[in-house]
Structure 1
Amino acid sequence: MRLIIAEKPSLARAIADALPGGGQRQEGAIVCGDTTVTWCLGHLLEQAAPEAYDPADKQWRLDRLPIVPGSWKLAPRAKARGQLAVIRKLIKQAAEVVHAGDPDREGQLLVQEVIEYLNYRGPVSRLLVSDLNRPAVARALSKLASNADFQPLFQAAQARSRADWLYGINLTRAWTLTGRQAGHDGVLSVGRVQTPVLGLIVRRDNAIRDFTPYPFYPLWVDIEVARGRLRAWWAPTERQPLDDQGRLVERAPADALAARLPGAEGRLAKLEQNEKRQNAPLPYSLSALQVDAARRFGLSAQTVLDVCQSLYERHKLITYPRSDCRYLPEEHLPLARKSLGGACRNDATLSEWLEGADFSLRSKAWNDKQVGAHHALAPTGKAADFATLSEMEAQVFRLVVRNVMAQFYPPLRTFEVKAEFHLLDEAFRARGQSVLDPGWKPLFTTKEDSPPLPPLTQGEPCRTREAGVEEKETRPPEPFTDASLIKAMMNIGRYVEDPEVRRTLRETDGLGTEATRAGIIETLVQRGYLVRKQKALRATKLGTALISALPAAVSTPERTALWEQRLSGIAEGSGDARAFQQALIDDLYGLLKQSDAGRLRSSLQTAQGEAAAPAKRIAQARKGAGKKTTRRKSTPARKTTRSSS
């Protein structure tokens, strides 16, 4: 008998439907001729508790830390014992086993750890399914690989699981026990990934809290040229009082210049005119989809993941969603017209987009060299029954279809102009853009980035008609949202302060994985470290106090980003799982020495006392900057702009 072990029942049913033999159901399995398909229920096994290694570690004690297993053990999850018993019985009868976990790091671990836990020693093949429709599953079944080829992926997943256990068990116990000494009654959870993510939010909240706004004063001029009028902005030089972004922070020089400008004559000193081509955004990875869906529809990262799983498993409308790839296999290109035609069949907007698609085009999205264990999210070609889809499912489905459809639209072509005018020995700059060919852009937005300028000629004379000074105010950085936090986790190098570490990070290095990022955010919310305020994610007093009390190495992303990089190296076959684990253990010894009840007590008290500080500080700053000023001509109303600090 050949035994196929799928990750979930939905995948098992899809595999059984693609096999000959009718598919006779029995307890926990489907029999299809000489092949039996069974399934896991997510993880059937978990890392054993500390007391499984030593009963003395059932009690939490600082003098027992760190707990480091000499030989690792797994234990059945309480709700999974029945299905594990089914697989145990079937695997004893199997002449061959097919590993059909999801095509990612965790999918490799989830099924392989069951196979090894049950001591199966026969041949193991690997089935990679990314599309649950019958033809796609049948094609996958015809291309089985050896599971041995995926051992680096398994070793990386196993190293991740053990690292999370070591880090979470030891540091959570250490800071929880320290918290009790500081007067906090409750578990203080510390995690290898969740804590640096919490640290990102706490530091952003602190920057917002400590931000003091100040005014600055842009000066505009309306200029008449040979073939029209335009608005330009003064570019003050360093002899003026400027901030670190080149903004004028005293009004007097702007007012003095504005008074002299009306009627002033000058010339167009510099002119740059370029035609630019911009290709369509690539098809989505899960994280990229979570970012866009959060921005467009206000959906949380976890909601997007849940919706994608429903579109994949229940409706069979999209391919495997937990992907970190934004490219598609080249063999999918000839099938794209058919799959997009099916996906668009029952929706007026999608059908309209389909009519404009040119399937003779080939974008850079079709690239086998960029595709690993899984590819970008794409429609399967099944026609959607929008009557059975929820509003969120329909919204996310259209996004997935749109980004693949956009690959068959021409590039966006624009004509961009940058002009610098010299008036009264000062420089004034203007920029504009005209659309030559909208290409793919109407599928995404109808808004133009900037209006066009009139036709210009290098060196032509100009004359000022009006001038004015605006009063704007700097703003603090925006709080994190699901969209911006997922993007930060994807591109963590931007938040790494150590320049040496930043240099070692690749663009693809991040915190967490496609499959775990949404769960990390929700875990922080559930544990009382984060709250959602409208779309914003803000740290609670407890979350702020914990980050303040922890060593910086635990709450900043540098170390975890490097660990994720090493895990990627293990998965690619270039890293050493044992060396990774030993380095983590060495770090643990140093970190545990830094637990300090006095510091934690002080952090908790400080967090309690800062609730009213931001509003009071901003009110005081605005009062100090609120002196009356005069304006030249028809100046727009007072505005604010965000500081990049």
Structure 2
Amino acid sequence: MIIKKLIIAEKPDVMKKFINALEPSAKSHKYAKYTYFYEGTQYIFASACGHLFQAKMPEEIDANNKQWKIEKLQLPDILPLKAISSSKAYFNCLKELVKRNDIDEIVVCTDPDREGQLIWALIAKNLKMSAPVTRVWIHEWTKAGLSKAFKDRKDNTYYKNLETAGLCRMQADYFIGMNGTRVNTKAFGGYKNVINEGRVQSPTRFLVAKLEKEIQNFKPEDYWTITLTTTSDDSEHLSLQSGRLSHKEASSLEAQLHSLPYTMHKEVNLKEVRCPMLYKTNDVNMEAINALGLSAEKTTNILQKLYQDYGLTTYPRTDIQQISVSSSKEVMKIVDSLDGIGLVDEIIDDIKENHRTFQKHLINFSAGEMPHEAITPTYDGEPSKIIGQLSSEEKAVYLMVVKRFLQGFYPPAKVEETKVSTDANGVKFSCTGKIIVEANWMKINGIPKDNILPHITDGKDYHYVNHKVEKKTTKPPARYTEASLLKAMENAGRFVEDKKAKSILKEVKGIGTEATRSDILKKLYKTGFLVKKGKVIYPTDKTMALVDILPNSPLTSPMMTAQLETKLSMVEKGKMSFKEFMGSVNEQVDELVNSAKDNSGKTIDSVAPIKSQSSQKSLDSIGICPFCGREMKENSKSYYCPGYKDGCNFSIWKEIAGKKISKTTVRTLLNKGQTSKLKGFTSRNGKKFDAVLHINKGTHKVEFKF
């Protein structure tokens, strides 16, 4: 009997990378539909499909949890698991393979991070294994890197603390999310008005609500600016701008401008600007939103497809912006693979003809572990054969990744920055200009338009030509777009005052991860807490009301994540036990339950987009059904909810008691639950009367209120 090693990867595509690195001749064996393992002379290769197990639902754990209450759920210290039905074949395959007598070692190759360790831990809890288990920690995803990682594998017990931290994170999210959702729904929501809570989604919607309050409370102020035009050493004139002035300051200065001398002070700095770091997931999402108009969800799906289906790019869910030393030795293979595909041929020719090398700041020379590398093109993806299969959006995102990578072959751009300033009776006027002296990497995406100033001699006096006074008004902060909200989630430390919490949130890169932030936004739209109109994100009244009712709930602040990550770090280092960690989680759960109890009795209406004078024009929808959260539709006779197939029959007639109901009135009714007093209704007896229309939440109908 030939003894073999069983290699278990996290996903089928990673399994194939190990096959390519260790035993390319291994043959495939079909276990079930879509489920395969591979066997060679030395190794058997199998995989999970991400998570194969999840915690049971509260009502499956204890019958007392079936009824939703403003009480803490009855949950054991360690949550019982159940198999994910869609992935059972993967587990059953593993269960059969570990029984084989010809296996002397099980080699775990899940992703090199806390989540990867958790995925294996949950699988292992449900397997009966006799062979020893080792763990591969992947530093580099090249063939050579995977081979080295396999060679350097360690006993899986070495990662026991990481496994415990993964289990702690899973249980914390479950305890907080399940308790928070049920308690707050029972306290403030109700049937078809679920108040979904979660460690990441709750503080995310709080960020949007907090900004909305700032906009609502914003008081515009008038100010004045002066544009001063003077002579220069050229025939062209020079324009300089003042700062903010009061009306009195502007009027006083304006009368003197024509008679003052203007001594110019000139500062010129030559700067070297390095090319940007390679892409991490959040960067691709933000740029695709801003440059291509794609949603975060769409971009995430495209990145996954480019990686998994086409093999054109590296792992798409990463917060790393560099590549490893080993990968840097393969960069010319990527350049060669891009040659002739018709997207960047001139750039490829330039790199090769000038023997350009990859910039060092894009390479990680440290000995630290890199669970993933930056998103780059692959050298074995065969883009010349696949490029024709891509949709226009897929090609656009792929080109973004390609260009960001190719910028790395060019030296820093040289930029000359010039600042000119002068003084007029104590008021400073200034202007800046920029000249791209050597574009270098900037050529890849187009050289920025230069703002070239006319020639000025430092210390020389120049004459007045004319001026312009403008009255301006301060503007409220801009609402979030998906790009700016993703950035806010990544930089959540800005929204807490505690210095230690700021530091922790910066270290863990905010709330959520590169892999989950897009899904969090999708969930917040789906559950009626946020609504997107065009590119702008608005909180719904449901969100605003919840924040008002629970201003001090632990769920409203990124602080919860900071505290959780601090303790998870202690668990990973062996300085905190599982029991101690869960004790602190239970304290947080007690706090959110008590917060709900203290404020219960206040009702949060179902979904309705927030409306204000500044946002009304941009919100062109009719509104949201107050009972099921669907977007209301319109036909010739009514405004109706399209959820009638699921039992929601809510509608508003376009004519009620002889009075035509305008779309504006309908929006008010959906937004506030009732209108102001309306005139012009006619009774069955032909008498005119005035009344308020309101939505009766008991009958689900629009009724009169006198």
- Give me the TM-score of the superposition, normalised by structure 1: 0.85
Alignment deviations for residues 186-211 of structure 1 (CA, whole Å, 9 cap, x no partner): 32111111100011111122223333
Q: Quote how far apart the aligned CAs of 1:91 are.
A: 1.6
Letter in 1 for 2:427: E
Which residue in the other structure is 2:253 paired with? 257
- Classify 1:218/1:574 alpha carbon distance in 2 versus 1 (closer, same or farther; 3 Å): farther
Q: Quote how far apart the aligned CAs of 1:569 are.
A: 5.7
Determine if the alignment matches structure 1 residue 230 to structure 2 residue 238.
yes
Residue 294 (structure 1) aligned to one of 266, 289, 292:
289
Partner Cα separation in structure 1 for residue 361 and residue 219 of structure 2: 46
**What secondary structure sits across from 1:218 in the alignment?**
strand
Which residue in the other structure is 1:174 paired with? 183
Determine if the alignment matches structure 1 residue 345 to structure 2 residue 345.
no
Query: Which stretch has the larger CA shift, 463-472 or 559-568?
Result: 559-568
Which residue in the other structure is 1:3 paired with? 6
Q: CA RMSD in A?
A: 3.0
- Classify 1:486/1:542 alpha carbon distance in 2 versus 1 (closer, same or farther; 3 Å): same
**What secondary structure sits across from 1:201 in the alignment?**
helix
Partner Cα separation in structure 1 for residue 406 and residue 608 of structure 2: 52
Which residue in the other structure is 2:395 paired with? 394
Partner Cα separation in structure 1 for residue 302 and residue 617 of structure 2: 42
Partner Cα separation in structure 2 for residue 126 and residue 312 of structure 1: 25
Determine if the alignment matches structure 1 residue 279 to structure 2 residue 282.
no
> Structure 2 matches for 1:303-342, cutoff 5 A?
303-342=298-337
- Classify 1:445/1:489 alpha carbon distance in 2 versus 1 (closer, same or farther; 3 Å): farther
Partner Cα separation in structure 1 for residue 581 and residue 314 of structure 2: 33
Residue 160 (structure 1) aligned to one of 165, 169, 172:
169
Contact kept, 8 Å, 1:283 with 1:376, in 2: the verdict is yes
Q: Quote how far apart the aligned CAs of 1:396 are.
A: 1.8
Alignment deviations for residues 567-589 of structure 1 (CA, whole Å, 9 cap, x no partner): 35655777665443322211221
Letter in 2 for 1:251: H
Contact kept, 8 Å, 1:130 with 1:320, in 2: the verdict is no
Residue 73 (structure 1) aligned to one of 77, 80, 85:
80
Contact kept, 8 Å, 1:5 with 1:111, in 2: the verdict is no
- Classify 1:47/1:378 alpha carbon distance in 2 versus 1 (closer, same or farther; 3 Å): same
Letter in 1 for 2:122: E
Which residue in the other structure is 2:365 paired with? 368
Q: Quote how far apart the aligned CAs of 1:411 are.
A: 0.7
Which residue in the other structure is 1:621 paired with? none
Which residue in the other structure is 2:689 paired with? none
Partner Cα separation in structure 2 for residue 504 and residue 3 of structure 1: 39
Residue 62 (structure 2) aligned to one of 38, 54, 67:
54
Q: Quote how far apart the aligned CAs of 1:315 are.
A: 1.0
Letter in 1 for 2:442: K
Q: Quote how far apart the aligned CAs of 1:163 are.
A: 0.5
**What secondary structure sits across from 1:506 in the alignment?**
helix
Contact kept, 8 Å, 1:234 with 1:426, in 2: the verdict is yes
Partner Cα separation in structure 2 for residue 130 and residue 394 of structure 1: 29
**What secondary structure sits across from 2:589 in the alignment?**
helix
Letter in 1 for 2:196: S
> Structure 2 matches for 1:125-274, cutoff 5 A?
125-127=134-136, 144-180=153-189, 185-227=192-234, 229-235=237-243, 247-248=244-245, 250-262=246-258, 264-268=260-264, 270-274=265-269
- Classify 1:392/1:573 alpha carbon distance in 2 versus 1 (closer, same or farther; 3 Å): farther
- Classify 1:336/1:136 alpha carbon distance in 2 versus 1 (closer, same or farther; 3 Å): same
Query: Which stretch has the larger CA shift, 285-294 or 351-360?
Result: 351-360
Which residue in the other structure is 2:37 paired with? 30
Contact kept, 8 Å, 2:176 with 2:199, in 1: the verdict is yes
Letter in 2 for 1:376: A
Q: Which runs of 5+ in 2 are unaligned?
A: 619-706
Partner Cα separation in structure 1 for residue 260 and residue 110 of structure 2: 73
Determine if the alignment matches structure 1 residue 114 to structure 2 residue 134.
no
Alignment deviations for residues 32-54 of structure 1 (CA, whole Å, 9 cap, x no partner): 22432222233210012224443
Q: Quote how far apart the aligned CAs of 1:487 are.
A: 0.9
Partner Cα separation in structure 2 for residue 50 and residue 356 of structure 1: 61
Number of positions where the alignment pairs a residue of Structure 1 with one of Structure 2: 599
- Classify 1:556/1:99 alpha carbon distance in 2 versus 1 (closer, same or farther; 3 Å): same
Partner Cα separation in structure 2 for residue 132 and residue 333 of structure 1: 12
Q: Which runs of 5+ in 1 are unaligned?
A: 236-246, 619-645
Determine if the alignment matches structure 1 residue 611 to structure 2 residue 627.
no
Partner Cα separation in structure 2 for residue 232 and residue 16 of structure 1: 65
Partner Cα separation in structure 2 for residue 415 and residue 353 of structure 1: 25
- Classify 1:599/1:49 alpha carbon distance in 2 versus 1 (closer, same or farther; 3 Å): closer
Which residue in the other structure is 2:376 paired with? 378
Contact kept, 8 Å, 2:434 with 2:452, in 1: the verdict is yes
- Classify 1:144/1:598 alpha carbon distance in 2 versus 1 (closer, same or farther; 3 Å): closer
Letter in 1 for 2:239: R
Q: Quote how far apart the aligned CAs of 1:161 are.
A: 0.7
**What secondary structure sits across from 1:60 in the alignment?**
coil
Alignment deviations for residues 165-191 of structure 1 (CA, whole Å, 9 cap, x no partner): 1101111111111125xx665321111
Letter in 1 for 2:345: S
- Classify 1:360/1:491 alpha carbon distance in 2 versus 1 (closer, same or farther; 3 Å): same
Contact kept, 8 Å, 1:215 with 1:472, in 2: the verdict is yes
> Structure 2 matches for 1:549-564, cutoff 5 A?
549-552=549-552, 553-564=554-565
Alignment deviations for residues 100-146 of structure 1 (CA, whole Å, 9 cap, x no partner): 32344323322332023214353223346698887776666555454
Partner Cα separation in structure 2 for residue 263 and residue 507 of structure 1: 56
Which residue in the other structure is 2:591 paired with? 590
Which residue in the other structure is 2:356 paired with? 359
Which residue in the other structure is 1:629 paired with? none
- Classify 1:16/1:604 alpha carbon distance in 2 versus 1 (closer, same or farther; 3 Å): same
Contact kept, 8 Å, 2:95 with 2:127, in 1: the verdict is yes
- Give me the TM-score of the superposition, normalised by structure 2: 0.78
Partner Cα separation in structure 1 for residue 307 and residue 153 of structure 2: 22
Q: Quote how far apart the aligned CAs of 1:437 are.
A: 1.1
Relative contact order: is structure 1 or structure 2 higher (C-alpha 8 Å, sep ≥ 6)?
Answer: 1
Contact kept, 8 Å, 1:293 with 1:299, in 2: the verdict is yes
Determine if the alignment matches structure 1 residue 12 to structure 2 residue 20.
no
